[in-house]
């Protein structure tokens, strides 16, 4: 199936971890190449670094991507929080993938209104621009987080509202399909725990653990991209797509990375806004969550969207990171499989290994 062929794809926040891997994936399939990929963000330094990174490929398999990159990728400076900037970026676009976000939990706690402006206001700007300018956009994907489920922190609260902004937009703009994806910690993304632990270990420690029983869902950047693409291919208007992924104790992640090194661990206590266990589907949401193979789909609650939903294969239970936790050996294997063990070259933020 051709999802992107001859389409114009806009990735907001496209210089981030997900945007970089998503761009590489879109460029890697010659049978489904977009007409154009627009990287929309406000950081010119990150845009320049991404452009340079793609122009310095040294592996033979990179050449296809490099040639496509020169022809297909456009960098656009703009701010998701500025309505006129968003209007200009959306002109002529077919698919929007909204990855722009303030996503660091402590940062959002200390600057809550900044999170509101980016995570909620940014989503509303996309919806408003499509509605007021009558733009013919096929699909908008909002990228959310497990912290949006039963949120206790500002980041999760703003992401939960972002989900509702996009879901509601299906009513006022039925010609565009608005869907979301929701997932847990991405293993190699900026600010995630694995890069932090690796850096602490390489510096001789100590490794900082918030609490010994904390668990998190863990998935790779590629799996996050898989989820976005699966939602574009299969999700009905208003659905939230969720990958079925393993969870692990953060203490086991640290132990797996430390291995037999003489590195001290320190328990620091839970940071502002953190949970011990994350939840991808609440019990209340589970009553309208269906099984889609390797994904769950939370179906919308709004009665206006009821024609799209079904009542088969409902989940009927909470989906928590504390339910089925990997043991230490399986956690080690997970890190090894994704080349995240301490001795492996680190593929940070989806950059090519050199």
Catalytic machinery residues: 147
DSSP string of 155-216, one letter each residue: HHHHHHHHHHHHHHHHHH-TTSEEEEEEE-EETTSTT-HHHHHHHHHHTT-PEEES-TT-EE
For residues 305 and 249, give the distance between their C-alpha atoms in angstroms, rounded to a whole number: 38
* Residue 223 · residue 233 · CB < 8 Å: no
Cβ atoms of residues 255 and 328 within 8 Å = yes
Token readout for 87 is 């209007």
Which residues contact residue 54 at a Cβ distance below 8 angstroms, ignoring those fewer than 6 apart?
65, 66, 69, 73
**Which residues, in sequence order, are CB contacts of 160 under 8 Å at separation 6+?**
144, 148, 149, 151
Tokens for 316, please give them.
């009927």
Cα–Cα distance between 296 and 290 in angstroms, integer? 6
Question: How much of the chain is in helix, strand and coil states, percent to nearest 5?
Answer: 40, 20, 40
């Amino acid at each position: 199936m051709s999802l992107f062929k001859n389409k114009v794809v806009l990735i907001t926040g496209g210089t981030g971890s997900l945007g970089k891997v998503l761009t590489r994936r879109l460029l890697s399939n010659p049978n489904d190449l977009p007409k154009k990929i627009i990287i929309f963000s406000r950081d010119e330094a990150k845009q320049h670094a991404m452009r340079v990174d793609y122009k310095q490929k040294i592996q033979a398999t990179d050449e296809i991507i490099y040639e496509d990159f020169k022809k297909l990728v456009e960098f656009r400076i703009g701010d998701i929080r500025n309505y006129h900037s968003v209007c200009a970026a959306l002109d002529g676009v077919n698919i929007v993938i909204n990855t722009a976000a303030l996503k660091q939990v402590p940062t959002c706690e200390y600057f809550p209104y900044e999170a509101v402006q980016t995570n909620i206001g940014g989503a509303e700007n996309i919806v408003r621009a499509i509605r007021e300018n009558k733009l013919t956009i096929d699909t908008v994907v909002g990228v959310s987080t497990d912290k949006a489920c039963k949120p206790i922190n500002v980041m999760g609260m703003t992401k939960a509202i972002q989900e509702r902004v996009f879901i509601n937009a299906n009513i006022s703009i039925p010609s565009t399909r608005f869907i979301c994806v929701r997932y847990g910690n991405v293993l190699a993304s900026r600010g995630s725990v694995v890069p932090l632990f690796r850096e602490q270990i390489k510096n001789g420690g100590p490794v900082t653990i918030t609490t010994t029983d904390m668990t998190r869902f863990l998935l790779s950047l590629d799996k996050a991209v898989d989820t976005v693409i699966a939602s574009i291919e299969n999700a009905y208007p208003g659905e939230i797509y969720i990958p079925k992924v393993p969870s692990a104790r953060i203490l086991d992640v640290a132990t797996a990375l430390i291995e037999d090194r003489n590195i001290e661990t320190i328990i620091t206590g839970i940071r502002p806004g953190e949970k011990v266990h994350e939840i991808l589907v609440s019990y209340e949401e589970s009553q309208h969550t269906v099984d889609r193979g390797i994904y769950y789909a939370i179906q919308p609650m709004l009665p206006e969207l009821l024609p799209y939903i079904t009542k088969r294969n409902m989940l009927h239970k909470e989906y928590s990171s504390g339910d089925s936790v990997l043991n230490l050996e399986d956690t080690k294997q997970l890190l090894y499989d994704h080349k995240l063990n301490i001795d492996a070259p680190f593929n940070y933020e989806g950059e090519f290994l050199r």
